[in-house]
Amino acid sequence: MNSVTALLPSWLKRDAHHSPSRPGAALLAEMREWVAQEKLIGGVGMIVRDGRTVFLEAVGLQDRERAIRAQPDTIFALTSATKPITCAGAMTLVDNDLLSLDDPIHRFIPAFRQQRLWDGSAPSGPILIRHIMTHCSGLIDAIPESFLATDYSLKELVAMGSVQPLAFHPGSRWAYANLGVNVLGRIIEIVSDRPFDEFIHRSILEPLGMRSSFYTLPRSREHRIAAAYASAAGVFVREELPFSSGHPFVAPSSSLFSTAQDLARFLQMLLGKGSFAGRRILSPHSAEAMVTSQTGSWKSGFVPGFGYGLGCSVITNPVGIFKSYSAGTFGHGGFFQTHAWADPRANLISIMLCQHRCIQPVSDEVASFISRSPGLL
């Protein structure tokens, strides 16, 4: 057992007889080839099968300019892969009868009672908690980026969103909206009477032992953070890390920093129907609702074959770049190539974390790689 494996918690440790290079050599070789071809600066891949880590490797650089190599415990900005964790926090309130999926959001934030559609007409009904968790609210992300760069609070961000017109009647179709999840975060603050990040830490991160997950990255952990890059004319250019230290507010939709190992703990809890390492985080009903598509036949994703649960993307028809997964596989991706998926039928977790702005066709290649990675073991 190597030094990295020795530091892992017992549920994540590889079998003592597992060779660090077999199985997994083909998987690691492909990751290294991406770095050699300059498709990636660096990244971390992880596969957990039946609750045991069968692959955990880092390739390339965590920070190119400082020549820091990527490590299995490198911390990444999850961007939208934050959303399932926010929604899990909300479901703990549901489990404690402090919140209902059918509560109108104006019960907690009265300004949303006045919202109208683009044409000025009244919506057919109120936005419900379930609508903002499934991206079926009609809310849109029309808040200027200049606002996000200023010193405003989550409360003020949501207040600005409440005066934006709705794109469609709540509950009538699907359209991805960060604003809805940020509204959910504000409602969590109101119901719990705690700051959003503090509540998520106490209800989700701490009970799961996600010790390397933060909304505000401590200075003491900055040496582990992966630098962010964008592609300009085929060349990676460093850019400002989203929601880095000193950012004015926490975004429930996208501002969690975490590691592959911590994400595996969260997904293992959902695979365990709300329980992890003998500790119950969510009721079985709430955990199942999160990972079950709630959007029926509506187009519910950016690629075919997806539905959307309560904070989780759900594969309903495995086709295209996700064809290697089983129906019912759930998880989420993030703008900076952070992918975390769990296949209940195979009892399998697949994670790939990079820190590159979404670039086609490389972003599709990363997603496809995650889908077929267990077959390379």
All domains of the chain, ordered by start, with CATH? 3-76+257-376 (3.40.710.10)
Q: What is the pLDDT of residue 16?
A: 31
User: Rounded distance, CA 107 to CA 242, Å?
Assistant: 32
Q: How many Cα atoms are found within 13 Å in the side-chain-facing hemisphere of 136?
A: 25
Task: Pull the structure tokens for residue 204.
Answer: 């989700």
Residue 10 DSSP label: G
Distance CA 115, CA 167 (A): 11
* C-alpha–C-alpha distance, residues 118 and 125, integer Å: 15
The predicted structure's pLDDT at residue 203: 98
Alpha helices by DSSP H, the chain: 3-6, 25-36, 83-95, 129-134, 145-148, 154-162, 178-192, 196-200, 206-208, 260-271, 284-290, 362-372
Residue 333 sits at the vertex; the CA angle it makes with 332 and 334, to the nearest 5 degrees, is 130
Q: In the structure encoding, which two tokens stand for residue 183, read together?
A: 């509204």
Per-residue model confidence (pLDDT) at position 141: 84
Name which of 363, 368, 369, 371 is nearest 335 in CA terms: 363
Nearest-angstrom CA–CA distance, 89 and 212? 18
What is the distance between the alpha carbons of residues 110 and 112, in angstroms, rounded to a whole number?
5
Q: Which of 181, 209, 152, 11 is nearest to 88 (CA)?
A: 181
pLDDT under 70: residue ranges of the chain = 1-23, 142-151, 233, 242-248, 358-377
Per-residue pLDDT, 270: 98
- Residue 337 contacts residue 343 (beta carbons within 8 Å): no
Q: Compute the distance between CA of residue 249 and CA of residue 12 in angstroms, rounded to an integer.
A: 33
Res 329: pLDDT? 95
**Global pTM value:** 0.90
Q: Using the CB atoms, write b or e for 280-292: b if 16+ within 10 Å.
A: ebbbeebbbbbbb
In whole angstroms, give the CA distance from residue 245 to residue 215. 9
DSSP 37-103: TTS-SEEEEEEEETTEEEEEEEEEEEETTTTEEP-TT-BEE-GGGGHHHHHHHHHHHHHTTS--TT-
Q: Which residue has the tokens 């595996």?
A: 264
Residue 149: the pLDDT is: 55
d(CA 291, CA 305): 15
Quick one: pLDDT at residue 20?
A: 43
Q: pLDDT value at position 336?
A: 85
d(CA 321, CA 306): 12
**The pLDDT value given to residue 145:** 56
- What pLDDT sits at residue 201? 98
| Both structure tokens of 189 | 């603050």
- In this predicted structure, what is the pLDDT of residue 365? 64
